[in-house]
């Protein structure tokens, strides 16, 4: 490690100024004077022997060198903040829950009031996970992730077995032609999840249902499962539902399943924690509540 490291205070002043594009707003955020922020930036520029900002007519802009340096140090600052919070929250009652957005919006968030009622002493912090995230680089007490039963470096428990099958709103069926067979799907708008990292469940379901259909005349392509679920619930088309995600909507009649065939998926939602955190009381209480609430959702 090099002996000459810039002061953390100077890095924080640089990051805040770059984000706000203003010395004044950075000073307000950091509870400093504008002069103090300017001195810290000059200290950093002197150490790096480069100019980080251009200042013209009351505007502040990053130089090319400043932008390159920001891209390098911003992840490091985020890691320092996460590590600090991780160490401090391991000893208190703040529970950090990282969850894929579709599960959070359709299942977790609507049910969390019950967990708060049972455990009012636990402070909740919710953070979103994207399918592109690398879990080993994220800080959390518990995470809710989707996949097969292969979770190295984590203690994992499958929340529920999962079936996939078409779902839609009753209003969509009433407004369209009869939907008696899989071939009749050709006459309906179809909601699909299409992205480089998400497998479209339509392809799997159609194959196992014995249908030769590969594409539909009218398709609504969504980049995320959360977008797709919202489109289905709003009546934009027929889409594939995961049993855990659509359980409440089916029970309330908001969605219906027009076909009997359901495909038992090898994947499913899991609750994960790192081994060094699995023994924490707050983690155990949440896992126990989560399994009791959603464990029979298949």
Range of the domain at 14: 8-88
User: Domain holding 37: CATH number?
Assistant: 1.10.10.10
- Is residue 2 a part of any domain in this protein? no
pLDDT tens, position by position, 262-290: 999 999 999 999 988 899 999 999 999 99
User: Is the pLDDT reported for residue 297 higher than 50?
Assistant: no
Q: Is 158 domain-assigned?
A: yes
Q: Are residues 45 and 109 in the same domain?
A: no
Q: Which of 40, 67, 88 corresponds to the end of one domain?
A: 88
Is the domain of 80 the same as that of 39? yes
Residue 64 lies inside a defined structural domain of this protein: yes
Q: What local confidence, expressed as pLDDT, does residue 146 receive?
A: 92
Co-location of 71 and 191 in the same domain: no
pLDDT band at 1 (very low <50, low <70, confident <90, very high): very low
Q: Which two tokens stand for residue 44?
A: 């950093």
Provide DSSP, 93-141: SEEEEEEEHHHIIIIIHHHHHHHHHH-TTSEEEEEEE-TT--GGGS--S
pLDDT digits (tens, 9 = 90+) for 30-44: 999 999 999 999 999
For residue range 81-116, what is the model confidence (pLDDT) as tens digits?
767 766 665 557 899 999 999 999 999 999 999 999
3-state helix, strand, coil in the chain (%, to 5): 45, 20, 30
Same domain, 84 and 139: no
DSSP 92: S
Q: What's the mean pLDDT when you consider all of the chain?
A: 89
- Dihedral sign, CA of 196, 197, 202, 208? positive
Residues 71 and 164 in one domain: no
Mean pLDDT of 236-241: 96
Burial class (CB within 10 angstroms; exposed 0-12, middle 13-18, buried 19+) of 55: exposed
pLDDT confidence band for 51 (50 / 70 / 90): very high
Percentage of residues in the chain having pLDDT higher than 70: 94
- Look at residue 199 in the predicted model and tell me its pLDDT: 67
What confidence score (pLDDT) does residue 29 get? 87
- Asked if residue 254 belongs to a domain, the reply is yes
Q: What is the pLDDT of residue 298?
A: 41
Boundary of a domain, candidates 88, 114, 135: 88
190 and 116 belong to one structural domain: yes
Model confidence pLDDT, tens digit, residues 158-202? 999 999 999 999 999 998 888 989 999 988 999 999 875 566 799
- HEC profile for 105-117? HHHHHHHHHHHHH
- Average pLDDT, integer, range 13-32: 90
Does residue 155 share a domain with residue 43? no
Q: Is residue 28 part of a domain?
A: yes
CATH number at residue 231: 3.40.190.290
pTM: 0.69
Structural domains of the chain, count: 2
Asked whether residue 102 is domain-assigned, the answer is yes
- Do residues 103 and 79 both lie within one domain? no
pLDDT, tens digit (0-9, with 9 covering 90-100), for 123-137? 999 999 988 888 887
Residues 73 and 176 in one domain: no
Choosing from 70, 88, 106, the residue where a domain stops is 88
Q: To 10 degrees, what angle do helices 243-252 and 225-233 make?
A: 10
- 67 lies in some domain: yes
Asked, for residue 196, whether it belongs to a domain, the answer is yes
Claim to verify: residue 201 and residue 277 sit in the same structural domain: yes
Q: Stretch 8-19: mean pLDDT, rounded?
A: 92
Q: Return d(Cα 214, Cα 171) in angstroms, integer.
A: 26
Residues 208, 231 within the same domain:
yes
80 and 97 housed in the same domain: no
């Amino acid at each position: 490690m090099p002996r000459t490291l810039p002061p953390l205070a100077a890095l924080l002043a640089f990051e805040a100024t770059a984000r706000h594009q203003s010395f004044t707003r950075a000073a307000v955020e950091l509870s400093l004077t504008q002069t103090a922020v300017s001195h810290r930036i000059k200290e950093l520029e002197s150490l790096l022997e480069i100019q980080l900002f251009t200042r013209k007519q009351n505007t502040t802009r990053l130089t090319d060198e400043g932008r390159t340096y920001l891209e390098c140090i911003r992840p490091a600052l985020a890691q320092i903040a996460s590590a600090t919070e991780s160490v401090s929250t391991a000893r208190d009652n703040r529970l950090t829950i990282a969850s894929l957005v579709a599960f959070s919006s359709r299942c977790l968030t609507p049910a969390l009031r019950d967990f708060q009622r049972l455990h009012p002493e636990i402070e909740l912090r919710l953070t979103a996970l994207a399918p592109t995230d690398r879990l080993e680089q994220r800080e959390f007490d518990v995470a809710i992730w989707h996949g097969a039963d292969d979770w190295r470096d984590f203690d994992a428990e499958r929340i529920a077995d999962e079936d996939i099958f078409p779902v839609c709103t009753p209003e969509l069926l009433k407004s369209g032609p009869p939907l008696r067979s899989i071939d009749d799907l050709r006459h309906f708008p179809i909601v699909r999840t299409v992205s480089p990292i998400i497998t479209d469940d339509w392809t799997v379901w159609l194959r196992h249902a014995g249908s030769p259909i590969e594409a539909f005349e009218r398709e609504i392509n969504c980049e995320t499962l959360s977008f797709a679920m919202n489109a289905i619930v709003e009546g934009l088309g027929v889409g594939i539902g995961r049993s855990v995600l659509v359980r409440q909507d089916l029970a309330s009649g908001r969605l219906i399943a027009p076909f009997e065939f359901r495909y038992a998926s090898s994947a499913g939602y899991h609750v994960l924690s790192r081994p060094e955190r699995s023994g924490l009381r707050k983690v155990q209480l949440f896992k126990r509540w989560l399994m009791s609430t959603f464990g029979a959702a298949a």
